[in-house]
Amino acid sequence: MKFSLEWLTYFLETDASVEEISAKLNAIGLEVEGVEDPAEKLGGFRVAHVLTAKPHPDADKLQVLTVDTGEGDPLQVVCGAPNARAGMKGVLGQAGAIVPANGMKLRKSEIRGVESNGMMCSVRELELGEDHEGIIELPEDAPVGTDFATYHGASPVFDVAITPNRPDCMGVYGIARDLAAAGLGTLKPLRDDTFAGDYPCPVEIRTDDPEGCPAFYGRVIRGVKNGPSPEWMQKRLIAAGQRPISALVDITNYMMLAFGRPAHVYDLAKLSGPVVARRANDGEQVLALNEKTYTLDSSMTVIADDNGVHDIAGIMGGEHSSVQDNTTDVLLEIAYFNPDSIGVTGRKLGLATDARTRFERGVDPAWLDGGLDGLTSLILRICGGEASEPVRAGKAPSDARMVPYDPQLTQKLGGVAVSEAEQRRILAALDFTVSDDWTVTVPLRRHDIEGAADIVEEVVRIHGLDHVESVALTGNVGVASPTATPEQALERKVRRAAAGRGLNEAVTWSFLPVSEAEHFADGQKLWVLDNPISEDMKAMRPSLLPGLISAAKRNIDRGASGLRLFEIGRRYLRAKDGGSDEHPTLGVVLAGEKVQRGWASGKAVMFDAFDAKAEAMALLAEAGAPVDKLMVMGEAGPQFHPGQSATLRLGPKNVLARFGALHPATLEAFDVDGPVVAVEIFLDAIPGKKGKAAFARPHYAPPALQSVMRDFAFLVPQDVAAGDLLRAVRNADKNNIVDARIFDLFEGKGVPEGKKSIAIEVTLQPAEKTYKDEEIKAISDAVIAAAAKQGAELRG
């Protein structure tokens, strides 16, 4: 909310500087977002006297003026304004001044061959209003040479953010009251505006909706003269960012900005019959002041007469009965609307107005008569007319909240001791009443004060939060205990392991385009946003891979040749009860070149499914998964190449990871060039360590005897999985075989059709004695027999 210093000091007697006021506003919770001093914008503009005006020799519409600036010789100025004439007083911008409206820097120039030393300005050029018909005309007595900002009374403008709990500060007077309480000045007494009225109100005013509109006060004023509002009011409104419209409209805006009190003025000539606050009928329509038609329903409160709706209560008036320049008789409305229903109506209609903001947060229920009289007073003073007696329909809430309070609480909750006397002073200055036993009666306008903690906040904020001293938390002597849960420790370890393996951690959006999410949904129902920010951010990801594939694509499009991206985050699935089921997951995408071409080989090496497997195995090992017990099985999912992908399972059901090359259809769906291989590790599927964390490892001493290597070459049917053969060989004699590695794989010449040759190097570890020939023979036989069960025959 914006207001000028001039307006503030109309209510607040203070010597404080703009800086002091700003600092205090911040200190009491009225955050200053900016201070603008129009005097700065008006630098270089001064009151000037036009001495002569002659037609420009070379242009019909221009005149050449000589202008007295109060010092030195008169200046020659070329001017195009029709109202420029000898003898008038106006505002001259001299060379060097910057025109506020367009930022143009004035300079000495020649206009059609005639020297011009400045510019006579219009209202619009100085951002003082809309008028651009001609240059500003100042009164006869305007002192020539005076700085125009000073003459005009330009006043610094504060822009203050009012938190939603403080509707009482959505008016300048409320802000002045807070500042006064904080010791920055004295609140000036308001005018004593009480009007009994000259005649009975000729219009019946009722509220038929006591829930939505508990109170509706009003009165008629006859014989008003609408027109421009006075300059003092226009200045204040303009400073507040409100465009002056007409006196009657400006007066209601003034009431709202000065006192946080929205009001409405109807053109009485457009009304017929009683004016009633009631619920709208379903489907009832109104053309509002913003020239839009709104369709209402029966949850909404309106002000209506016999002919229909004239006002969406507390939100926006209707066009039909709005005041015009020729309006002579008016009906004033000061009402109290239910804040909740205003909020609901506003949200339903999607209509945000200054009035709604105030009613929704809660206006002062105790200031209906005051508001009505204040409004009346302004209209009578500015527009004339005769006021009727007021009509008071209904009753605003009047039960003041009583809060039992303990002055010790400022210390106990706020961490600062404030003397009882000071606490009483602060509360009184904010219009709270404090009894001897510290029962605090809350002013009705303070809807936000509910309990003792709120009173603490009032006292402490006015006393000053800078008095709060730091106090150390107690406990925790000695070395800090570990706090990470096993899941957190796992994520951290796997993250650094992945980075240590050369992968770059990315953080991608949790939401995806629906099509991309569907591609990875595997039949699960997605979480799809009702109000996404864009179609690209609509469905919660069921997998980490789509986001990473898209990131890889963006990088490739930027010219990257090879990518190693990973992310640790959640997949968003659904629990059986319809709630959220979020799974911590690690995704890896490897795309393009694994090794760039280089001097050694000259050729690039592309990523393949085995690179994905390597990451999967290594990261699972770091995660503590029993990798030597994992089974390589199928069904990685339709997003993967059916022949180049697999799952890693612990037992047939528990899938710990999936990996492999992506399906060409996936590449096409993401518009990315291959090869792209991927891994997804389901971190919460990895079995945790059982029992208490143990640090001691199983006993181990390196064997004293040297191990023995034996090579075996087998012919196996092509469809036998190498991993199965290897496992069979390794398990052929668990006491002696400590390792088995495939070191050759060959098909083709010399190998029968339908077969492949697999060569395995077996490491034997003798325990206490070196092997005798017959012992090695026995182990070899066991290896061959185990391999034979897989369909393998020893190559001759």
Partner 1 sequence: MSEHETMKTDALARIEAAQDLDAVEALRVEFLGKQGSISGLLKTLGKMSPEERQEKAPAIQALRAAVADALADKKTALEAAELEARLATETVDLTLPAPETPRGTVHPVSQVMDELAEIFADLGFAVATGPEVEDDWYNFTALNMPESHPARAMHDTFYFPDTAPKGGRMLLRTHTSPVQVRTMMAQGAPLRIIAPGRVYRSDSDATHTPMFHQVEGLVIDKDIHLGHLKWTLETFLKAFFETDDIVLRLRPSYFPFTEPSVEVDVGFAIDDKGKRILGGSGDAPGHGWMELLGSGMVNRRVIEMSGLDPDQWQGFAFGVGVDRLAMLKYGMDDLRAFFDGDVRWLQHYGFSAYDQPTLSAGVGAGA
For partner 1, the binding residues in 429-458 under the rule CB under 8 A are 448, 451, 453-454, 456-457
- Closest by alpha carbon to 612, among 566, 672, 659, 656? 659
Q: Which of 221, 240, 372, 568 binds partner 1 (CB under 8 A)?
A: 568
Q: Which is nearer to partner 1, 571 or 730 (CB)?
A: 571
Q: Which is nearer to partner 1, 66 or 165 (CB)?
A: 165
SS3 667: helix
> Min. distance of Cβ 355 from partner 1 in angstroms?
14
Please give the helix or strand (H or E) that residue 710 lies within, else none.
strand 708-717
Q: Which is nearer to partner 1, 56 or 361 (CB)?
A: 361
> Min. distance of Cβ 622 from partner 1 in angstroms?
11
Q: Which is nearer to partner 1, 273 or 598 (CB)?
A: 598
Q: Which of residues 356-415 bind partner 1 (CB under 8 A)?
A: 360-361, 411-415
Q: Which is nearer to partner 1, 554 or 789 (CB)?
A: 554
Q: Which is nearer to partner 1, 586 or 650 (CB)?
A: 586
Q: Which of 492, 597, 772, 789 binds partner 1 (CB under 8 A)?
A: 492
Please give the helix or strand (H or E) that residue 248 lies within, else none.
helix 247-259
- Prior bond to 675 cis, omega within 30? yes
- Closest by alpha carbon to 279, among 312, 318, 319? 312
> Min. distance of Cβ 165 from partner 1 in angstroms?
5
> Min. distance of Cβ 320 from partner 1 in angstroms?
30
Assigned token pair, 677: 């291989």
CB-count burial class (<10 Å; 0-12, 13-18, 19+) for 437: exposed
Q: Which of 73, 110, 291, 530 binds partner 1 (CB under 8 A)?
A: 530
Site string for partner 1, 541-560 (x = CB under 8 A): ------xx-xxx-xx--x-x
CB 607 within 8 A of CB 563: no
Stretch that binds partner 1, among 141-149, 514-522, 567-575, 764-772 (CB under 8 A): 567-575
Q: Which of 87, 223, 404, 500 binds partner 1 (CB under 8 A)?
A: 500
Assigned token pair, 196: 């009994």
Q: Which is nearer to partner 1, 112 or 467 (CB)?
A: 467
> Min. distance of Cβ 594 from partner 1 in angstroms?
9
Q: Which is nearer to partner 1, 71 or 530 (CB)?
A: 530
Q: How many residues bind partner 1 (CB under 8 A)?
A: 101
- Return the DSSP state at 105: B
Q: Which of residues 460-479 bind partner 1 (CB under 8 A)?
A: 460-461, 465-466, 468-473, 475-476
- Prior bond to 139 cis, omega within 30? no
Strand partners, 505: 566
> Min. distance of Cβ 360 from partner 1 in angstroms?
6
Assigned token pair, 6: 């001039």
Quote the CA–CA distance of 123 and 232 in Å, as a whole number. Answer: 15
721 is a site residue for partner 1 (CB under 8 A)? no
How would you classify residue 609: left for phi > 0, otherwise alpha for psi between -120 and 50, otherwise beta?
A: alpha
CB 447 within 8 A of CB 339: yes
Q: Which of 118, 171, 443, 569 binds partner 1 (CB under 8 A)?
A: 569
Assigned token pair, 661: 């090359």
Stretch that binds partner 1, among 240-248, 432-440, 481-489, 717-725 (CB under 8 A): 481-489
- Closest by alpha carbon to 201, among 218, 213, 215? 218
Please give the helix or strand (H or E) that residue 721 lies within, else none.
none
Quote the CA–CA distance of 710 and 722 in Å, as a whole number. Answer: 18
Q: Which of residues 140-199 bind partner 1 (CB under 8 A)?
A: 163-166
Stretch that binds partner 1, among 56-64, 367-375, 527-535, 629-637 (CB under 8 A): 527-535
Quote the CA–CA distance of 752 and 458 in Å, as a whole number. Answer: 92
> Min. distance of Cβ 305 from partner 1 in angstroms?
29
527 is a site residue for partner 1 (CB under 8 A)? yes
Stretch that binds partner 1, among 50-58, 246-254, 262-270, 459-467 (CB under 8 A): 459-467
416 is a site residue for partner 1 (CB under 8 A)? yes
CB 763 within 8 A of CB 738: yes
CB 712 within 8 A of CB 725: no
Q: Which is nearer to partner 1, 134 or 339 (CB)?
A: 339
770 is a site residue for partner 1 (CB under 8 A)? no
Stretch that binds partner 1, among 244-252, 396-404, 438-446, 487-495 (CB under 8 A): 487-495
- Closest by alpha carbon to 236, among 323, 157, 130? 157
> Min. distance of Cβ 566 from partner 1 in angstroms?
8
Quote the CA–CA distance of 213 and 228 in Å, as a whole number. Answer: 32
343 is a site residue for partner 1 (CB under 8 A)? yes
Kindly list the distances between the CA atom of residue 481 and the CA atoms of 47, 60, 478, 493, 695, in Å, as whole numbers in the listed order: 74, 89, 9, 18, 16
> Min. distance of Cβ 685 from partner 1 in angstroms?
18
735 is a site residue for partner 1 (CB under 8 A)? no
SS3 82: coil
Q: Which of 330, 332, 503, 609 binds partner 1 (CB under 8 A)?
A: 503
Stretch that binds partner 1, among 36-44, 190-198, 561-569, 671-679 (CB under 8 A): 561-569
Q: Which is nearer to partner 1, 599 or 700 (CB)?
A: 599
CB 546 within 8 A of CB 519: yes
Q: Which of 10, 151, 509, 771 binds partner 1 (CB under 8 A)?
A: 509
Q: Which of 206, 225, 392, 501 binds partner 1 (CB under 8 A)?
A: 501
Quote the CA–CA distance of 567 and 544 in Å, as a whole number. Answer: 7
Q: What angle do CA 570, 643, 684 make, to 5 degrees?
A: 20
SS3 384: coil
507 is a site residue for partner 1 (CB under 8 A)? yes
- Closest by alpha carbon to 684, among 494, 474, 426, 534? 494
231-239 helix and 247-259 helix, angle to the nearest 10 degrees? 50
Q: Which of residues 2-41 bind partner 1 (CB under 8 A)?
A: 26-29, 31
CB 528 within 8 A of CB 587: no
Q: Which of residues 283-342 bind partner 1 (CB under 8 A)?
A: 339-340
254 — phi, psi (to 5°)? Answer: -65, -45
Assigned token pair, 616: 């999967």
Q: Which is nearer to partner 1, 457 or 518 (CB)?
A: 457
CB 207 within 8 A of CB 394: yes
Can you say whether the dihedral through the CA atoms of 123, 124, 129, 133 is positive or negative? positive
Q: Which is nearer to partner 1, 25 or 135 (CB)?
A: 25
603 is a site residue for partner 1 (CB under 8 A)? no
Q: Which is nearer to partner 1, 355 or 760 (CB)?
A: 355
> Min. distance of Cβ 758 from partner 1 in angstroms?
29
Q: Which is nearer to partner 1, 601 or 706 (CB)?
A: 601
> Min. distance of Cβ 211 from partner 1 in angstroms?
14
